[in-house]
Structure 1
Amino acid sequence: MRNSLLKGAALAIAAGALLLPAVPAAATTTVTAATAADPFSAFDVTVKATKKVKPGGKITYTIRAVNKGPHYADSWFVGGEFPKGVDLRNISYWAEKGTQCALDGRAFYCVLPRVVEVDEAISMKFVAKTTKKAKGTQTATLGVVTYNVDQGMENMSKEELDRLGIPEFAFAKTVKTKVVR
């Protein structure tokens, strides 16, 4: 499974789906065992966005995520939800060669074609043009979603992984951009 990616990963980031799952209270003993509910790969995510923009202007989003382990990540994607005031026809991104992205409504995800080792960082940059009617504060939720996919399961569809109850974990940040006139 070392270099596999989820084939046909369906969109897992929808409104509100990028919420960090609840973490159980730490055990009082010095030895703890990982449970099925622990992520194989946890990410430390930072997100930067343009602070102010005029209607019709561009918002630049930069996502940087570091795999904090305990294992390498080979079933993951970068994604999020664009604000309501963004023109979805005017979105561009910069990432490694071979990156594949999909957009469904305001939600998007990108699969980068590689394994992320522990303490290794990945980053992506998105530029989205706001509509001429954009106003107020534009809020985006961006981050990384990982799956606890066992060896031999890398070619299963998202639907089958969901049916089997394969855990997915989201690590995200919310960023805001003020539209000024």
Structure 2
Amino acid sequence: MRNSLPKAATLALLAGALLIPAVPASATTTVTAAATATKAADPYSAFSVKVKAPKTVKAGGKIKYTIVATNKGPHYADSWFLGGQFPKGVDRNKVRFGTSVKGTQCFAEGDRAFFCFLPQVVEVGDSVAMVFEAPVKKSAKGTQTATLGVVSYNLDTGMEDMSKEELDRLGVPEFGFSKTVKTKIVR
């Protein structure tokens, strides 16, 4: 990140959290009260998200989701993922994606989540778009709900090449910006 002050504050908070177990019991109360008074980190970059999806789709057809994410700042975004939670009636293993960003890498997470890392820095005010095409199972019925958008991380210098799993494992601050869309299955 260009602004190193939030990084320094994050590192100081992390260092303080790591030292707590080594502090004697009498000092733990003071350290805990100070840590509790500290405000949670704000995102380095917040996003405005728009998601488009069809109102209806036939069972066995495809749902086309279009995500447009705009960086609202305060800083440029260099570690973020597009995607989210796909509906139960979608075959997540057959989701296809399209974007103009070269080097995009996508992966499944959990039962229904699907995310893509786009190796692009998004300046404040700039947007990025991605299209997902998800095949609907023939057995799907009712209303299919998807929650899609952006997950961004507050990265410190040297963490740029870490995977989403590693960032989550380390407890790096994560911020979600998403929209929920519904598509009715028709016969």
Q: Provide closer, same or farther for how the CA distance between residues 173 and 40 of structure 1 changes in structure 2, counting only shifts above 3 A.
A: same
Q: Provide closer, same or farther for how the CA distance between residues 103 and 157 of structure 1 changes in structure 2, counting only shifts above 3 A.
A: closer
Letter in 2 for 1:100: Q
Q: Post-superposition shift, 1:121?
A: 0.1
Indicate the residue corresponding to 1:102 in structure 2.
107
Indicate the residue corresponding to 1:146 in structure 2.
152
Quick one: which of 90, 93, 100 aligns to 2:97? 93
| TM-score, normalised relative to structure 2 | 0.73
Indicate the residue corresponding to 1:66 in structure 2.
70
Q: Which has the larger radius of gyration?
A: 2
What CA deviation, in whole Å up to 9, does each residue of 1:33-57 have, x standing for no partner? Answer: xx65110000000000011011101
CA distance in 1, matches of 2:138, 2:113: 21
CA distance in 2, matches of 1:128, 1:60: 6
Q: Post-superposition shift, 1:151?
A: 1.7
Q: Return the structure number with greater relative CO, CA threshold 8 A, min gap 6.
A: 1
CA distance in 1, matches of 2:163, 2:113: 19
Structure 1 ranges of 4+ moved more than 6 A: none
2:128 counterpart of 1:122: yes
Q: CA RMSD in A?
A: 1.9
Q: Post-superposition shift, 1:91?
A: 1.7
When you count strand as a share of all residues, which structure comes out higher? Answer: 1
SS in 2 for 1:86: coil
When you count helix as a share of all residues, which structure comes out higher? Answer: 2
Letter in 1 for 2:181: V
Q: Which runs of 5+ in 2 are unaligned?
A: 3-38
Letter in 1 for 2:153: Y
Q: Which runs of 5+ in 1 are unaligned?
A: 3-34
| TM-score, normalised relative to structure 1 | 0.75
